[in-house]
Every structure is written in C-alpha cells, then in structure tokens.
Structure 1
Amino acid sequence: MKSSSCSLTEIQQRIDEVTRFLSITLNIANAHTVEFYTHDVWKRFVAVSPEDVLSAVGSGNHQQREPQHRQSEQPSTTFGFCNDTKRLVGTQELVQAAKEHSLPSLGLCMSRENLLQDLRDMKSDSGTPEETVAAFESDEFMTSKKSHEVQSMSEVVACLAQHCGVNQVIDVGSGKGYLSSFLSLQYALRVYGIDSSSTNTHGAQERNRKLKKFSKAYQKHTKAARTQSEATHSPQEELIERKTGLNGDEDVFSGNGPRIRSQEEERVLTSSSDINPTVEGRSEQNLETDELFLSALSVDVIQPASPRVPPSQLSAEERERRKRENLERKAQSRADSTGAVFSPLTSYVTAETELRDLINELEDAVMVGLHTCGDLAPSTLRMFVAKPELAAVCSVGCCYHLLSEEFDHAGQKCLQSVCGFPLSQYLRDQSCFCGRNARMSACLALERVALGQGIQMESLFYRAVLHVILRDHYSSYKSEKRVGNVYSKAKSFVDYVRRALRRLELDESKLSDSDIQDYHNTYRVRMDEMHAFNMLKVTLAPCIEGLILLDRLCYLKEQEDVSFSALVQLFDPLLSPRCYAVIGLKNDGKRTTS
C-alpha cells in the first residue's frame, strides 16, 4: 500500500519524543481535581498566574511574549518547566510543545480519503463496494454524531472486506447494532455483533427480526413500483404513489389499474406505522420512501407494537390466515438460519475468546469496534493478531481511563494479568506508565474546548471545596467513597454540600449554612486557578491520547504477519473527539480458516 511508508523505527522514534515530553509534563495531567485545594496543586506545579495560562491556551498564538516580569531572568527550562523547581514558568513554550507532540503534528496519520483510495487502487478491478439498497439518510434513526461515525466507518470496513475478499464482519462491542445494521443493509455483509450486554443484544435481535421481514418486502415493492413507473409515470408521480401506498392508506397504482400486493407485502407494509408510530399523521410532502425504510432501524422498533385490530374482532378466516403465516415464518426461520440481516450475540470478549465457540459459520472476516471501551480496544487488536481467520481490523477505542496498566509510576509490575496498556513490546520493555488521571485527561476534547464547549467548571469547583470541608471537619472520612451525581440536583453550594454529606452518611449538623457558604466564598476567588489548570490538562490531552494510540500502532508494526497498519482519522473531531482508528491487514498467505 503506497501510503504505508511509516516504518516501525519511525514510530518508535515518535514514541520516544512523546514519552520524553510527557515525562516532564505528565504530573499536571495526573493531579486530581478533587485534591486541587487540599494539596495546593496550583502552587506545586505552576509559577505563573492563571491569567497568563488562560491567555496562552486560549489565544492560539504561540508567538506571544511571556509576561514582562520573567524576561529579565529567564530560568533554564524544558517544555516550559523550570529545570530546578519543576514548575511551569513558560506557558507559551508548553503550549507550542504540546501541539508539536500531538498526533496531527507527528506525521504518522493517514487520512480516511487516502486509505480508501489506496484500498480501491489495489482492487481497481472490483470498483467500490456495492450498496444493496438505495442510499438513505441515517440521521433518521441516529443522532448526528452516531450517523457521522457509522457512515464514515462503514465505508472503510466495506472497502477492507472487499480488499480481503471476505463477506463476514465481527463487530465487537456492537451495542444496539447501528454499525452492524448499516454494514449489512448497505453493503450486503454478513455481520456478527458481539456485546456483553444482553439488553443490547436483545434489542438488536428484535430490530433484526423486524428488519429482516421489512427489508425484503420493501425492496420487492420498490423494485416493482420503479419498473412500472419507468414505463408509465414520471418520477414525481411515482414518488407520490409510493408514498401513498407505503402509508397503507391506498393501494399503489401501476399502469391503468391497482397493483395487487402479495400477502407478505400487505402484512409488512400495512404494519409499517406500528414499526414507527410517528409515520401516521405526517403529510405526503414530508414523507419520503427512504424515511419509512429507516424507521425500521429506529430505537422504537424494540418496543412491541400494538395490533391494528384486536384479535377478538378478527374473523375466523383472518385468524386462520395469520396463524398459517406465523407457522410458515417460523419454519422458514429455522430452515434459513443464516439469512438474518445480522446476528447479535451476547458474550464478554477478551483476547482469549475463541470465536468459533460463538460463531458456528465462521469464515475469514474483518473485525471492527466502534468506540470500544477500555481494554476491549487492545483486546480487539490482540485477537486480530492471534486469530488466523481475521483478515483485517478497524478499531476505534474510547474511555482510556478504563484501561488497565501493567506497570506503576515506579516501573514495577502492578498487574500480572494481560493489560490494556502498554500493548507494544517496545513500551513494555520501558515499563511505560501513564496513570488513571492522565488517561482520563486523554478523553478531554481539545477541539470542542477551543470552540467554547468547555469543561463544567462549577461542578469541579464544588467537589474540590467539599474535599476541603471533609478534611477540616470529618477526619474519619474515607476518600474512596464517591459522592456521585449530586451536583445536578443541587440548587446551591450549601444544598450541594448537605446532599453530599447525607450521601456519605456523615453528620451534617456539624456545619451551619453560613459555615458552608464561608468555604464557598473563600475559595471562589481562586476558581480561576482551577480553570487554568484544567485548560493545561486539555492542552496535554492529545499528547496522552497520541501515546496510547501510537502504542497500539507499534504493536501491529511489531507483528510479522501484519502486512499493513496505520492510524487513520475517520471522524470529524468536533462531532466525535475519539476520531482515530487503528487499522491492520494481514498477509494473504498467513490466513487460513483451517
């Protein structure tokens, strides 16, 4: 692949650069916001004013001068930190260094467009993946964020499958099955969605059942209507007739007489408003045929639909007809177990999971994961390497704070089991450590914060001041107890503290309302310190995320059987901050289903 010029040596060099930067700056990311005032975090790590930090981080202009009081005696610094005191004295220097050590500046990422072009160039004889139904707007059944993610990722996965000559996809952590459904319906791929939540897989199974019968009748109906309209009607006339028929109000006319629907089409199409109750009552001008098709994918599908006519009011002939159709449908389902739109499976997946125990019809496949949490993302990559039947992988991780780490801050093994970080042998040999708070900082979204979609500072401030109160008045308090989501219910700081004390089962009579309010007033004037410190964490976030992702890429580069691997930006970071995918392809000769 022509864009795969990034070598293992180059990746290791970039990893060294990032780890050196983080060795100086990581203490800021690992400082706990809850302890901000009790441990005087600002004075421990920062030697400039909050205003200097906020100005430097928010300006985006890294050529600004440092404050005048520092120009006369410039201390020796590394990335803006004084080499003697280890405190931040050069904010602009830090901001610039953080930018240089983030993924976009390291020159190791491919664009989604370049990846697709490379895959298509290598399969130029086959063209682009074919879609099995008319293109539709997925916004109808997903949020704009999820729609963007599913559409962007599904095209890449389909190209990977075509490149490898496979028709199966294993979607790990499939959730409600949006990506699985889209891949199957749009690209005729056989998708197995595996999720540890039985609730998710049950909902996906119910959606799958309705999609299976609906899509068949839909495609048969639209194909027949399109054929007739091409012969006798204009596209505008045909669209109106299709909308009328699909509403279930009238038959669809074709030619000079009414078209007689089959029993299967009649049963499915007349129940379409049960699949999505919002269809009824909408004007013909606003109802497109594809919208109805999408309604089958909506979350509402998992709710049982009420019949149009109570069974007690049906004639004996109609009851017998429905009973016969139900029996025929069940028999067909048993006879054609592989004909589902996709197959949701409930299982907790690890790197040791034997896929053949879950999937009887397993063939060579592409493994995918869209925002797989914590250790599931590195487990997906380990499975790809270990399982010969997996031809390619496309993994987008999230929730870095849930990753398990093999080593502690002193480089000692803290967990003996298989861990999520580090994954590569290169970083394992260095006993690389991040820390939970730093990994949590990696989840912050720099692009969103830059547009004013900032951190909820007041809730963090409330929690930090509460910690001061607990230290001063409740010495027996165990810090591992969690306050929970008290802030969203509190009407004021006093109310917040009282709710928190009750949650922690502490005696709130020790403090009067005025005592509590005094704490708020005392620390309120120092809230800018917390705001500025959290903006420093946001600045470091892309670098920490970059190290985690480079570790995963390095792991794939270390494998002899992996012919291609890359970090690819799949999504718009404003819509989906966890926007990078780790993609790998195996050597054709190293794969076998035996």
Structure 2
Amino acid sequence: MPGVSARGLSYEERRQLAVNLTRVLALYRSILDAYIIEFFTDNLWGTLPCSWQEALDGLSPPQLATLLLGMPREGEVVRYRSVWPLTLLALKSTAYALAFTRTPGFQSPSEFLENPSQSSRLTAPFRKHVRPKKQHEIRRLGELVKKLSDLTGCTQIVDVGSGQGHLSRFMSLGLGLMVKSIEGDQRLVERAQRLDQELLQALEKEEKRNAQVVQTGPRHSPHHVVRWVDPTALCEELLLPLENSPQGGARLLLTGLHACGDLSVALLRHFSCCPEVVALASVGCCYMKLSDPGGYPLSQWVAGLPGYELPYRLREGACHALEEYAERLQKAGPGLRTHCYRAALETVIRCAQPTLRRPGVQGIPRVHELKIEEYVRRGLQRVGLDPQLPLNLAALRAHQAQENRVVTFFSLALLLAPLVETLILLDRLLYLQEQGFHAELLPIFSPELSPRNLVLVATKRPLGQAFSVLETEDS
C-alpha cells in the first residue's frame, strides 16, 4: 500500500498532516467505530452510501485486495469493472496519501528463501527457540540499535519489556553490546536466563568446531532485571549503569521491541526527562491498551486539534495486519467467512439474551469446515447459552449469502486503520520535537512478517547525514 515517508516531512508538514488526519478520521468515524460482529444487528452495509454499495457489491476478495486495498498480485493489471463514485475514490486516495508508508527503504533478497523457518541472516545458535517473525525482528532492530549506539556514543543498551530476552541476547552475545533487559514477569526472566546459558554453550561449541570463528573478547550476557516499569513514573533501575564508564557516567540507549501500550510511552518519557538517556529506538504495539488520558495524545499540538480523540475501537483497529489480510483476500480461502459467521452468531445471541452484547467467543477450531448452524451452536455454548435453542435456518442462510459484503466492509475499515496508527505515531514525533529533540520514524521490518514495523528513533543531538546508515540493510 502506498504512503508518505515520515522522514521526508518538515516539522510544519508533520503538524499539517496531524490536522488532515483528524479531519479525515472524523469524516469516516462511522466505519472505524463499527464492530464487524454487528454487521447484521446494526445493518452496517446500509450505513454506506448507495453509490458505494453499488460499486463494491459483488467484488471478489482478490478484487478487493487489488482495487480497494491497493495490493495487487505481482504483475497484475488493475482493472475496474465499473466507474467508482468520486467519494469512494477520494477515500481510497486519501487513505493512501496520509498513512505513513510501511515499506522499508532497503531492497534485499528474502532471508527465508532457503528455509521458511530459518533466517539466512542469523547463525544457527541465534535462531534456536525463535520463530521466523522474531528472527527477522531481532536482527533488524538489533543492527539498527548497534548503529545508533555507535553514532551516539552509548555505553549501555536498556531493553524494556524484554520478555524471553531474544533481542537482548542478540544485541549482547551477537553484536557485543552491553545490555540490561527489564521485564516485569519473573517467569519470563528465568527462562531468558536459561536461554542465555544455552546460547553461551552453543557458541562455545561452535568455536571449538570451527577454527575460523575468533572471539575477540569476553562475552557479556544480558543483565536481566525483574521490574515492572510504571508508565507514570521514572524507573530508577532503568537508569542505573551496569558498570562505571571511564568518561564518568553512563550514556544510555533505550529500546523496546513491540513495547505494549503505555510501556512505549514510558520509554518516550524516560528519554525526554533523563539526561543519561541520549537515544531511543522504540517499536510500539497494542495501541488499544494506551491509557486515556495519559498514553495519547502526548503532544500539545495534537491535543489542541478538534477531533483528536481516538476511542478504544479505533486504536484496536490500528493493530490489524493490513498486508496479511490482503494476502488472505488474494487467496480467497474459506477462512474469510469467520467474520460473517460471528456476525450471524451475534444476531442469535441478542435474540436469546438482548442484554448480552459482543461477548468474547473462545476460539472455535476449523470454522471454515463448519456449517453456519454448527458454528452458531458451538458459539452459543461458549457464551453460556443453550446450544439447542431453535434456530432460524433461513435467516442464517441469508446472512451467509452476504459473506462478501461482510468482507468488503471489514476491508474498508482496514483501509482506514493505518491512518489511526499514523496519527498515534505522529503525535509521538511531535511530542519529542516540541521539546527540541530529533525524532524520525523508519519502517525496518518487512510488513508481511511484522505489521507493526515502524521504529521511532530519537536522539538529543542531530545526526545529520549519518542518520541514513540506520535505514540501510547490513550485508
């Protein structure tokens, strides 16, 4: 999907983009606010302009991926079967024009061509226990952090929300950085420490087997700390140096790989308030978990705009994987019917118990293989209702016949969702710039592998032309 580069925008252009985003999001709020499981109960199709309904009705899933989401198959010629209304074309063009691009600026062969589960860019010890998505993420973010650390003279990396420590291990044992990792869950920290020892042993065995592998100095495992970082207060542990620097004081770089909700905001606040922190490389996620107020907006500029509010539903939608869904549309598999089935179930739930609205339904395995009435009965049982309730099979069949409309409405919401993410991340950029810091957003992961792929890089001194090395892919 096309988009605009955050790095190519001046401060004034970023402020104007925030104005445009709030206006557009207010205009299409009804689509973004809608829950797809209420497609039938709230007649969501009927809320669209009639001209849109005529243009979109009957489009196949691959046509939606190509014509609406702008993600055609390689070499596919884009052809419209009819003339679309200008308002729909305007929505599509606006969504493309205002969202930050998630396409990385580098071009390199896929690291998973030889084996879909093993990155060719990581050695075997660093791939063990790590899924392909995470292999890609720790390598790309780790390499960026190493470059940023060198550019800013950092003496210590602090990995916040480190989980099982995959990123910390790669940065310390793979790239030679001094790393403190902070995680609030003691069980994850204990597992991280076990994995550290396992990796050290594997590296030592590799050295003994391969005489060409030369270890230039002592290895430093990550220093793991069990600590909950309060988003509203400074964490002293986060700022403590691991060892005294010969220059007389630590220079810290904070990083977080998909720091959830307010944790990514806490990183920004520590960077802003603490002189020891000279650089930041943060990849956020789980925007729906941001505190309101507190987590958004952060900047004075966005807080002063009419219509800046982003309720829970909008922030939740911003976490969807646009590229992954477009691929599903192109394949047109039976798994696309899940939203339709769940929306049909919602009609039955409300008939049986009108006060029960949008209950969570535990996963029903192999939905695409079930008849709609079988799915509904299993769903009723999962929400505590009688699965043997009499069902209106004719109504369920009529709902099932509208499967493509459900997919189409969901695709429309997905087209707009990147605008919400763009406004959240733009607010963070402006928050840092309002305080005189230097901040940029870079897409560093393949969006097909990792949808939340924009890293917020901030420094307290300008990097000038040197900044461009952060965007390059290591050989």
Take 1:551 and 1:398, find their aligned partners in 2: how far apart are those partners?
Answer: 15
More contact order relative to length (CA 8 Å, sep ≥ 6): 2
Residue 521 (structure 1) aligned with residue 400 (structure 2): no
Q: Distance in 2 between matches of 1:527 and 1:13?
A: 39
**Any residues of structure 2 matched to 1:139-218 within 5 Å, and which?**
139=127, 141-212=129-200, 215=203
Which of 227, 231, 245 is the matching residue for 1:347?
Answer: 227
What whole-Å deviation, never above 9, does each CA across 1:449-482 have from its counterpart, x for those lacking one? Answer: 333457953221122111111222323x432642
Partners of 1:533 and 1:197 lie apart in 2 by 39
Structure 1 equivalent of residue 454 of structure 2 = 580
Please state if 1:496 is matched with 2:375.
yes
Q: Is the 8 A contact 1:565 1:582 kept in 2?
A: yes
Pairing 1:423–2:286 present? no
Q: How many aligned residue pairs are there?
A: 416
| DSSP 3-state at the match of 1:394 | strand
Q: Is the 2:258–2:284 Cα contact (8 Å) retained in structure 1?
A: yes
Deviations 1:239-277 (A, max 9, x none): xxxxxxxxxxxxxxxxxxxxxxxxxxxxxxxxxxxxxxx
Q: Secondary structure at the match of 2:459?
A: strand
Residue of structure 2 equivalent to 1:301: none
Amino acid across the alignment from 1:505: G
Q: Which structure 1 residue ranges, 5 or more long, are not aligned?
A: 71-79, 81-89, 114-133, 227-288, 294-337, 407-418, 589-594
Cα distance in structure 1, aligned partners of 2:7 and 2:374: 57
In structure 1, C-alpha distance between the alignment counterparts of 2:66 and 2:106, rounded to whole Å = 29
Question: Aligned partners of 1:483 and 1:361: how far apart in 2?
Answer: 46
Residue range with higher mean Cα deviation, 192-201 or 344-353: 344-353
Percent of aligned pairs with the same residue?
A: 29
Deviations along 1:268-300, one digit per CA (max 9) or x if unpaired, are: xxxxxxxxxxxxxxxxxxxxx99xx9xxxxxxx
User: Which residue in 1 is equivalent to 2:123?
Assistant: 136
CA contact (8 A) 1:11 1:554 kept: yes
| Structure 2 CA distance for partners of 1:582 and 1:472, relative to 1, 3 Å | same
* Shift of residue 211, structure 1, vs aligned partner: 3.5
Amino acid at match of 1:497: V
Mapping of 1:257-296 within 5 angstroms?
none
Q: Deviations over 1:364-392 (max 9, x none)?
A: 21100111122221221112111221110
- Which of 564, 567, 577 aligns to 2:441? It is 567
Q: CA deviation at 1:31?
A: 0.6
Aligned counterparts, 1:379-394, within 5 A: 379-394=266-281
Which residue identity does 1:136 align to in structure 2? Answer: T
**Preserved CA contact (<8 Å) 2:349 2:356:** no
Any conservation in 2 of the 1:36–1:530 contact (CA below 8 Å)? yes
The structure 1 residue matched to 2:97, chosen from 81, 97, 100, is: 100
Query: Which secondary structure state, in structure 2, belongs to the residue aligned with residue 576 of structure 1?
Result: coil
* 1:447 Cα deviation from its structure 2 partner: 2.6
Task: Note the C-alpha offset of 1:65.
Answer: 8.4
Name which one, 1 or 2, has greater alpha-carbon Rg: 1
Indicate the SS of the match to 1:575: coil
Change (3 A) 1:530 1:7: same
Q: Which residue number corresponds to residue 428 of structure 2?
A: 552
Give, as a single letter, the amino acid of the residue that structure 1 aligns with 2:384: E
Does residue 1:369 correspond to 2:256, yes or no?
yes
Indicate if the aligned counterparts of 2:65 and 2:329 stay in contact, CA closer than 8 A. Answer: no
For the 8 Å contact 1:171–1:367, the answer to whether it is kept is: yes
Q: What SS does the corresponding residue of 2:28 show, helix, strand or coil?
A: helix
Cα deviation for residue 50 of structure 1 reads 4.9
The 3 A distance-change label for structure 1 pair 367 and 49 is same
Contact 1:50-1:532 within 8 A present in 2 as well: no
The yes-or-no answer on 1:405 pairing with 2:292 is yes
Aligned residue for 1:311? none
**C-alpha distance in 1, partners of 2:47/2:427?**
30
Q: Deviation at 1:110?
A: 8.8
SS at structure 2 position matched to 1:391:
strand
Which stretch of structure 1 is more off in the superposition, 485-494 or 359-368? Answer: 485-494
**Alpha-carbon distance change, 457 to 426 in structure 1, aligned in 2, over 3 angstroms:** same
Q: Give yes or no for contact 2:381–2:387 (8 Å, CA) kept in 1.
A: yes
Taking the aligned partners of 1:554 and 1:13, their CA distance within structure 2 comes to 11
* Shift of residue 179, structure 1, vs aligned partner: 0.9
Give the counterpart letter for 2:130 in structure 1.
Answer: M
Task: Kindly provide the CA deviation profile for residues 396-421 of structure 1, in whole angstroms up to 9, marking residues without a partner as x.
Answer: 11122222332xxxxxxxxxxxx221
- 1:22 alignment partner in structure 2: 25
Structure 2, unpaired ranges of 5+ = 1-5, 71-76, 108-120, 244-249, 463-475
SS in 2 for 1:188: coil
Which position in structure 1 is the counterpart of 2:406?
A: 530
Please say if 1:478 is aligned against 2:359: no
Kept in 2: contact 1:497–1:516 (CA 8 A)? no
User: How far does the alpha carbon of each residue in 1:545-570 deviate from its partner, in whole angstroms, 9 at most, with x for none?
Assistant: 1111111111111112x2x2101111
1:48 aligned onto 2:51: yes
Local SS of the residue matching 1:103: coil
Output the amino acid matched with 1:96. Answer: S
The alignment's TM-score, normalised by the length of structure 2, stands at: 0.78
The question of 1:356 aligning with 2:237 is answered yes
SS in 1 for 2:320: coil
Q: How far apart in 2 are the matches of 1:111 and 1:462? A: 39
Distance across 2 between alignment mates of 1:382 and 1:400: 17
2:10 aligns to what?
7
Of 578-587 and 352-361, the range deviating more from structure 2: 352-361
Contact 2:122/2:139 (CA < 8 Å) preserved in 1? no
Partner SS, residue 584 of structure 1: strand
Asked if 1:460 corresponds to 2:348, the answer is no
Q: Residue 111 of structure 1: CA displacement?
A: 4.2
Tell me the secondary structure at the aligned position of residue 369 of structure 1: strand
Matched, 1:58 2:61: no
SS in structure 2 of the partner of residue 371 of structure 1: strand
User: Contact 1:349–1:376 at 8 Å: present in 2 too?
Assistant: yes
The residue matched to 1:344 in structure 2 has which SS? strand
Name the CA distance, whole Å, in 2 between partners of 1:430 and 1:135.
45
CA distance in 1, matches of 2:288, 2:300: 21
SS of the residue aligned with 2:291? Answer: coil
Offset at 1:354?
Answer: 1.8
CA distance in structure 2 between the partners assigned to 1:433 and 1:395 by the alignment: 23
List per-residue Cα deviations over 1:478-537 (Å, max 9, x = no partner): 32642222355784333332233233322344x23xx25333212122222211101101
Evaluate the alpha carbon distance shift between residue 155 and residue 395 of structure 1 in structure 2; reply closer, same or farther with a 3 A threshold.
same
- Cα 1:381–1:5 shift into 2, 3 Å: same
Equivalent in 394, 416, 428 of residue 540 of structure 1:
416
